[in-house]
Amino acid sequence: MLAGQLLLTTLFLIFTIVETYRLRMQVIKNSSLATLCALDETARQEVGSIGDLDLLTRRTNEMEVRLE
């Protein structure tokens, strides 16, 4: 049972790595930008699309945000 789970997990991880490399996707796992863009429609309109990471970074560097 455990061996099967490890095998499936390893296969999933390898598939994810290969697809990310093949599609030339930018990895933003260490960035809070992904969370900011996922909040709501208003935040996405203000910040822009997560597809252009350079533009997104420039826009968010100019913003001031606060939690309520």
Question: pLDDT tens digit string along 33-68?
Answer: 666 666 667 766 766 666 666 777 777 777 776 766
Residue 67 domain flag = no
Answer yes or no: pTM beyond 0.75.
no
In a domain? residue 45: yes
- Which residue shows structure tokens 């606060």? 66
Q: Is residue 28 part of a domain?
A: yes
Separation between Cα atoms, residue 17 and residue 34, nearest integer Å = 19
Beta-carbon count within 10 A of 37 CB: 20
Q: How many domains does the chain have?
A: 1
Domain presence at residue 42? yes
16 in any annotated domain:
yes
pLDDT band at 6 (very low <50, low <70, confident <90, very high): very high
In a domain, 66, yes or no: no
State the residue range of the domain holding 40. 2-61
Judged against a pLDDT cut of 70, whether residue 32 lies above it is answered with no
> What does the pLDDT read at residue 58?
78
